[in-house]
Chain A
Amino acid sequence: MFLMKTLRAGACLALLPAMALADPALIFDLGGKFDKSFNEAAYNGAERWKAETGGTYKELEMQSEAQREQALRRLAQAGANPIVMTGFAFGEVLGKIAPDYPDTKFVIIDMVVEQPNVQSVVFTEEQGSYLAGVAAALASKSGTVGFIGGMDIPLIHKFECGYAQGFKATRPDGQLIINYTGTTPAAWNDPVKGGELLKAQVSQGADVVYAAAGGTGIGVLQAAADAGVLSIGVDSNQNHLHPGKVLTSMVKGVDNSVYDAFKAGAEVEPGVKVMDLASGGVSLAMDDNNKPLISGEIAGAIDAAAKAIQAGEITVHDYMADNSCPVR
């Protein structure tokens, strides 16, 4: 028994050589660190913190479902604080293990976990997507726009529903074509299929397509640039991928959330943190790459809609509230 314990202690020490006490840690979901989207935004936030403070952090990429608990426990035992994780799939496990490590702060993005040492960061994707819908409606010449989702799960329906509401509010007679890439996690990382779906939508008349599909979106944006139609990126600012061909990107401030959590260190405020339009949690990316595409009319309409949402004059329906969408 003594031998076992020594071995185990040795293994833990050997595996975490560069881990100083109270370094923050970041755990990426199964999508992987460089998905040019959600996880990469988290990575960018952590890197920004590192560049500004010169600190170090530990990062982990998941390989299987059973590793979630393993990774969380090992990081907590090693003294990492706070531990930030991307993705709702950690919710269940975090709810189970957070009470075991009361002195460690956890931050979970995209999910609410009610524990005294957990900060839950949720984004109002429907508001950002509403603005994307407004932009798409005005930029479209044919009156038909498309939406390509990744895996067919409620979270992505939230994007779809906000987009549909913004589009229909601006162009009530317009057509909206909706496709999902698949029903398995592979749907997050299938750029070829994304490109094929884009082509199918273009052949049905769509000339602006919003991709909320993680790595699959790269294929959508590429195919859109090739086909000469406009696309809308998601999560990270993807305007630069095809300058002048990406209308805008619905940016989710995941990087800011990670940055803020790392900066606060062990003093992270527990509770639910709603990142909405007003707090800059979601926004449309405007930069030199898409400047020629955003006419004064489009910019004005986006601004007006954003103000109206913040003032409460427009309420964007949240798909998650009742699992349904008022417009299609």
Chain B
Amino acid sequence: MERMPKWADVILTPLISLVLAFALSALLILAIGESPAEALKVVVQGALGSSYGWGFTLYYATNFIFTGLAVAVAYHAGLFNIGGEGQAAMGGLGVALVVLALPWPHWALALPAAAVGAALMGALWALVPAWLQARRGSHVVITTIMFNFIAAALLNYVLVNLLRPVGSMDPASASFPAATHLPKLSEMALALGVEWGRNTPANISFFVAVAACLLVWLLIWHTRRGYEIRAFGKSATAVRYAGISALRITVLAMLVSGALAGLMAVNNVMGEAERLVLNAVEGAGFIGIAVALMGRNHPLGVLLAALLFGFLYQGGGELALWTSIPRELIVVIQALVILFTGALDNMVRMPLERLFMALRRKGA
């Protein structure tokens, strides 16, 4: 028997966690002498109050969908991939190499090629930890986070010494040629005769992200491999007993996970910056963990959680830009949301479950 109805599990629990996090944030804002109501207004208006805000919210959400899916897929196999940061950074390198290597005539050709490059580099970066886990028992939590630092160092070396145009101060690659610039959502809206979100970075990758959600759903719940991944996550010993290779499942799950994280680069590197900068990922790999936790590792949940975090990120950015609330406090608020929705989930869930059980008993 289920302990509580599905809607309570999926919607009510995160909602209460969110309200708690916001309540605590409001106290913090009060404590530094600012008005929480004013702050909330800036956040909501800045992120959702205009098509401009939406353009940024969707851009950040696209990043978080990819990294959230990456964490979710690995999680189904019982693997905790916290290397999304490094995998996305390597994905960026894949995009830059593909885009700069050939004179692409049109973005429609460059996009699939760059996506393949990004996914390959991301997957490659997850391969070694996966193999070490399956063959040597080195825990992926340790190895994937170590690989984040290796990725940062490698990217720094490549950008500073190989890809940086001579004389440029900035450790960044050359700008991508205009033909490879992805259409922004604002341009697509304009083509339909609607003026929406001018000068915002949200681009066609958002649809790639939504398609990725669909593909992950198909993979996990509607293929034999997906079944094996889930079974492996539930009980690795049972799966081994059933004759399924643990090495193959571990590597497969991590490859898919790394590829998804790498794909994020299509959005931030190819869609937004239109060149590879050192700091391109900006913590999206880690936010993906919170997104996956909050989304219950389901693609639809990841999509919704990514939108929420996109909203928080853009709203928080607006708060930092246009009010005197210091940006450090905004990081604290974002951390509170992650803490309540991710780490302290059971604090809300257990009393709720008890409440629903009691209600059901009374009803019966």
Contact = CB atoms under 8 A, between A and B. Distances in A.
B175 A92 contact: yes
A65 B201 CA distance: 11
Contacts of B268: 66
Contacts of A61: 320-321, 326-327
Interface string A1-19: 1001001101100111000
Interface in A225-280: none
A4 B52 CA distance: 9
Contacts of A151: 156
B318 interface: yes
B364 interface: no
Contact of B169 (A15, A32, A88): A88
Interface in A25-42: 30, 32
A14 B321 contact: no
Given A11-B53, A65-B282, A66-B201, A154 B169 contact: yes
B313 interface: yes
Given A15-B318, A63-B317, A63-B327, A88 B170 contact: yes
Interface stretch (B250-258, B273-281, B288-296): B273-281
Given A111-B170, A153-B160, A64 B313 contact: yes
A325 to B, nearest CB: 14
A89 interface: yes
A65 B275 CA distance: 12
A173 B211 CA distance: 64
How many A residues are at the interface, by size bracket?
Answer: 35 or more
Contacts of B282: 64-65
Contacts of B166: 323
A185 interface: yes
A70 interface: yes
B50 interface: yes
Given A63-B320, A65-B277, A154-B160, A73 B50 contact: no
Contacts of B245: none
A111 B51 contact: no
Contacts of A69: 199, 201
Contact of B321 (A71, A110, A155): A71
Given A63-B317, A73-B199, A153 B194 contact: no
A184 B152 contact: yes
A154 B46 contact: no
A184 B153 CA distance: 8
- DSSP class of B's interface residues: helix, strand, loop or mixed? helix
Interface in B172-189: 172, 175
Contacts of B117: none
A85 to B, nearest CB: 13
Interface in A50-97: 60-61, 63-67, 69-71, 73-74, 88-89, 91-92
Contacts of A110: 169
A8 B278 contact: no
A71 B322 CA distance: 10
B195 interface: yes
B272 interface: yes
B164 interface: yes
A13 B316 CA distance: 18
A114 interface: no
Contacts of B46: 11, 15
Nearest to A60: B321
Most buried by B among A30, A70, A73, A320: A70
B199 A92 contact: no
Contacts of A7: 45, 49-50
Given A15-B45, A70-B56, 7 more contacts: A4-B196, A69-B199, A70-B317, A71-B321, A151-B156, A153-B171, A155-B169
Interface of A: 1, 4, 7-8, 10-11, 14-16, 30, 32, 60-61, 63-67, 69-71, 73-74, 88-89, 91-92, 110-111, 151-155, 182-185, 320-321, 323
Interface of B: 41-42, 45-46, 49-53, 56, 59-60, 152-153, 155-157, 160-161, 164, 166-167, 169-172, 175, 194-196, 199, 201, 268, 272-273, 275, 277-280, 282, 313, 316-318, 320-322, 326-327, 330
